[in-house]
Structure 1
Amino acid sequence: MTRLFSLLAFAIFISLGSESLAQVPLPSTSSGSDTAEMATTVPEDITTDEINSMVARMSDDEVRNLLLYQLDAVAAKNETVTPTLSTSERVAKLWTAFTTPTVDAVKKLPVVGPKIGEAFSNFSASYGGGGAVMTMLGLIALVIAIALGVEFAVRAWLARSSSVTAQDSTETGLREAVVFLLKRFMREIFGLVVFYVVIRTLGRTVLSPQQLAFAGPFVLNLIWLPRLTGACSRFILAPHRSDLRLVNVNDQWAKFLHRNIIGLFFLAGFTLFFTGFSNSNGVPTSETRIGFWLDSLVYVYIIFIALTAREGLIDLMRGTDPDRTVADETFAKFYPYFAVGVAVATWVLVSTLIGLQQISALVHGAHYLTMFLLLMAPVIDTAIRGLVRHVVPPMRGEGPAAEGAYLSTKRSLVRIGRVIAAGIIIVMIANAWDFSVGALMREGVGIADNVFGFLMTAVVGYVAYEGVSLWINSRLAAEFTALGMSEEEADAEMGGASGSRLSTVLPLMLLTARIAIIVVFGLLAIGNLGIDITPLLAGAGVIGLAIGFGAQKLVSDIVSGVFFLVDDAFRTGEYVEIDGTMGAVEKISIRSMQLRHHRGAVHTIPYGEIPKLTNYSRDWVIMKLKFTVPFDTNPNQIKKIFKKIGQEMLEDPLFKDDFLQPFKSQGVFDIDDVGMVIRGKFMAKPGKQFMIRKEIFNKIKAAFAESGIDFARREVRVALSDTDTHEDLSEQQQAAIMGAAAATASQQEEAPAAAPKGPD
Structure 2
Amino acid sequence: MNVAHLHIAYLMTRIVLGALALFPLAALAEAGEDAAEPARRVAEMTQTFAHNLAEQLRQIGTALNELEGEQLGTQLWLATIELSDLLIIIGVTVALLFALRPVARPFFIKAEKWAQQGDERLHTLRRAIGVSSAALADLATVLIAWLGGYALALFLLGETGSIEMRQSLFLNAFLITEGVKAILRILFAVRNSGLRLLPIETDYASYWNSRLARMAGLIGYGLLFLVPLFSRTISDLVGQLATLIIMATAFFYAMTVALRNRNDMRKRLEASAAKAKVMFTRVTLSTLAWTWHWLVIAYFGALAVVTVTQPESALPYMAQATAQSLIVVVLGALIAVALTQATSRRIHLSAEKRQHFPLLEGRLNSYIPIALKAVRALIIVTVLALLLDAWGLLDFFAWISSEAGLNIIGIVVSVGLVLIAAIAAWIVAASWIEHRLNPEVGKGKPTAREQTLLTLFRNALAVVLVTLTTMIVLAEIGINIGPLIAGAGVLGLAIGFGAQKMVQDIITGVFIQLEHSIDVGDIITAAGVTGTVEKLTVRSVNIRDLAGTFHFIPFSSVDSIANFTRHFAYHVGNYGVAYREDLDEVKPHFEAAYRELKNHPDQEIADAVYDEFWLDGVSSLGDSSVNIRIRIKTAPGMQWAVGRAYNELVKKEFDKAGIEIPFPHRTLYFGQDKYGRAPAARIENVG
The match for 1:13 is none
The match for 1:372 is 326
Consecutive unaligned residues of structure 1, counting only runs of 5 or more, are 1-81, 101-120, 486-491, 524-536, 587-592, 645-662, 683-692, 730-760
Work out the CA distance in 2 between the residues paired with 1:358 and 1:612: 93
The answer to whether the aligner puts 1:422 opposite 2:350 as a matched pair is: no
The match for 1:410 is 369
1:393 aligned to which of 347, 362, 366? 347
CA 356–228 in structure 1, closer or farther in 2 if over 3 Å, else same: closer
Work out the CA distance in 2 between the residues paired with 1:717 and 1:166: 97
Q: Would you say the 8 A contact 1:239–1:255 is kept in 2?
A: no
Work out the CA distance in 1 between the residues paired with 2:95 and 2:308: 42
* Residues 655-693 of structure 1: per-residue CA shift (max 9 Å, x gap): xxxxxxxx86647989999999995679xxxxxxxxxx9
Q: Residues 571-590 of structure 1: matches in 2 within 5 Å? A: none
CA RMSD of aligned residues (A): 6.7
1:363 aligned to which of 316, 319, 338? 316
Structure whose CA Rg is larger:
2
Work out the CA distance in 2 between the residues paired with 1:143 and 1:269: 15
1:642 aligned to which of 573, 594, 604? 604
Q: Residues 316-465 of structure 1: matches in 2 within 5 Å? A: 324=277, 333=286, 336-337=289-290, 339=292, 343=296, 346=299, 360=313, 362-364=315-317, 365-369=319-323, 372=326, 379=333, 383=337, 386-387=340-341, 389-390=343-344, 393=347, 406-420=365-379, 422-423=381-382, 426-427=385-386, 429-430=388-389, 433=392, 436-439=395-398, 444=402, 450=404, 452=405, 455-457=408-410, 459-461=412-414, 463-464=416-417
- Deviation at 1:288? 2.8
Work out the CA distance in 1 between the residues paired with 2:396 and 2:456: 48
1:308 aligned to which of 248, 264, 274? 264
1:260 aligned to which of 189, 205, 208? 208
- Deviation at 1:124? 11
1:515 maps to a residue whose letter is M
Work out the CA distance in 2 between the residues paired with 1:311 and 1:673: 96
The match for 1:57 is none
2:208 maps to a residue whose letter is N
Q: Residues 92-171 of structure 1: matches in 2 within 5 Å? A: 125=75, 128-130=78-80, 136-150=86-100, 152-153=102-103, 156=106, 166=114
Work out the CA distance in 2 between the residues paired with 1:154 and 1:504: 65
Q: Would you say the 8 A contact 2:307–2:314 is kept in 1?
A: no
The answer to whether the aligner puts 1:216 opposite 2:163 as a matched pair is: no
Work out the CA distance in 1 between the residues paired with 2:560 and 2:612: 34
1:517 aligned to which of 449, 473, 483? 473
The match for 2:4 is none
The answer to whether the aligner puts 1:240 opposite 2:193 as a matched pair is: yes
CA 176–514 in structure 1, closer or farther in 2 if over 3 Å, else same: same
Work out the CA distance in 2 between the residues paired with 1:300 and 1:547: 65
Q: Would you say the 8 A contact 1:642–1:664 is kept in 2?
A: yes
CA 565–515 in structure 1, closer or farther in 2 if over 3 Å, else same: farther
CA 547–368 in structure 1, closer or farther in 2 if over 3 Å, else same: closer
1:721 maps to a residue whose letter is R
The match for 1:231 is 186
Work out the CA distance in 1 between the residues paired with 2:83 and 2:419: 63
Q: Would you say the 8 A contact 2:611–2:633 is kept in 1?
A: yes
Q: Residues 564-603 of structure 1: matches in 2 within 5 Å? A: none
CA 87–219 in structure 1, closer or farther in 2 if over 3 Å, else same: same
* Residues 40-78 of structure 1: per-residue CA shift (max 9 Å, x gap): xxxxxxxxxxxxxxxxxxxxxxxxxxxxxxxxxxxxxxx
* Residues 626-649 of structure 1: per-residue CA shift (max 9 Å, x gap): 999x979942443673399xxxxx
Work out the CA distance in 2 between the residues paired with 1:387 and 1:222: 33
Work out the CA distance in 1 between the residues paired with 2:126 and 2:33: 63
Consecutive unaligned residues of structure 2, counting only runs of 5 or more, are 1-31, 51-70, 158-162, 231-237, 439-447, 528-532, 545-549, 574-591, 616-626, 653-660, 671-680, 683-687
Work out the CA distance in 2 between the residues paired with 1:339 and 1:473: 47
- Deviation at 1:200? 1.9
Q: Residues 614-629 of structure 1: matches in 2 within 5 Å? A: none
Please, what TM-score do these two structures have when normalized by structure 1? Answer: 0.50
Q: Would you say the 8 A contact 1:369–1:429 is kept in 2?
A: no
- Deviation at 1:189? 0.7
Range moving further from structure 2, 385-394 or 397-406:
397-406
Work out the CA distance in 2 between the residues paired with 1:90 and 1:479: 73
The match for 1:530 is none
Work out the CA distance in 2 between the residues paired with 1:285 and 1:481: 79
2:250 aligned to which of 278, 294, 299? 294
3-state SS in 2 of match to 1:721: coil
Percent identity (aligned)? 7
Q: Would you say the 8 A contact 1:406–1:474 is kept in 2?
A: no
Please, what TM-score do these two structures have when normalized by structure 2? Answer: 0.54
* Residues 541-581 of structure 1: per-residue CA shift (max 9 Å, x gap): 57866775786567999x9999x99999599xx9699x979
1:271 maps to a residue whose letter is I
The answer to whether the aligner puts 1:722 opposite 2:667 as a matched pair is: yes
- Deviation at 1:284? 2.1
Work out the CA distance in 2 between the residues paired with 1:159 and 1:508: 58
Work out the CA distance in 2 between the residues paired with 1:502 and 1:276: 69
1:363 maps to a residue whose letter is P
Q: Would you say the 8 A contact 2:534–2:542 is kept in 1?
A: yes
* Residues 310-345 of structure 1: per-residue CA shift (max 9 Å, x gap): 55545656669xxx4666656665553475575477
The answer to whether the aligner puts 1:275 opposite 2:223 as a matched pair is: yes
- Deviation at 1:517? 2.0
Q: Residues 462-481 of structure 1: matches in 2 within 5 Å? A: 463-464=416-417, 466-468=419-421, 470-472=423-425, 474-475=427-428, 478=431
2:340 maps to a residue whose letter is G
Q: Would you say the 8 A contact 1:239–1:258 is kept in 2?
A: no
3-state SS in 2 of match to 1:522: coil
1:635 maps to a residue whose letter is L
Q: Would you say the 8 A contact 1:624–1:680 is kept in 2?
A: yes
Q: Residues 704-743 of structure 1: matches in 2 within 5 Å? A: 719=664, 721-723=666-668
2:470 maps to a residue whose letter is R
Work out the CA distance in 1 between the residues paired with 2:453 and 2:483: 44
The match for 1:24 is none
1:415 maps to a residue whose letter is A
Work out the CA distance in 2 between the residues paired with 1:94 and 1:387: 56
CA 631–463 in structure 1, closer or farther in 2 if over 3 Å, else same: same
1:190 aligned to which of 137, 144, 161? 137
* Residues 102-123 of structure 1: per-residue CA shift (max 9 Å, x gap): xxxxxxxxxxxxxxxxxxx989
3-state SS in 2 of match to 1:283: helix
Paired residues, number = 526
CA 378–352 in structure 1, closer or farther in 2 if over 3 Å, else same: farther
3-state SS in 2 of match to 1:275: helix
- Deviation at 1:196? 0.1
CA 598–464 in structure 1, closer or farther in 2 if over 3 Å, else same: farther
CA 266–623 in structure 1, closer or farther in 2 if over 3 Å, else same: farther
Work out the CA distance in 2 between the residues paired with 1:484 and 1:245: 52
Q: Residues 22-37 of structure 1: matches in 2 within 5 Å? A: none
CA 439–382 in structure 1, closer or farther in 2 if over 3 Å, else same: closer
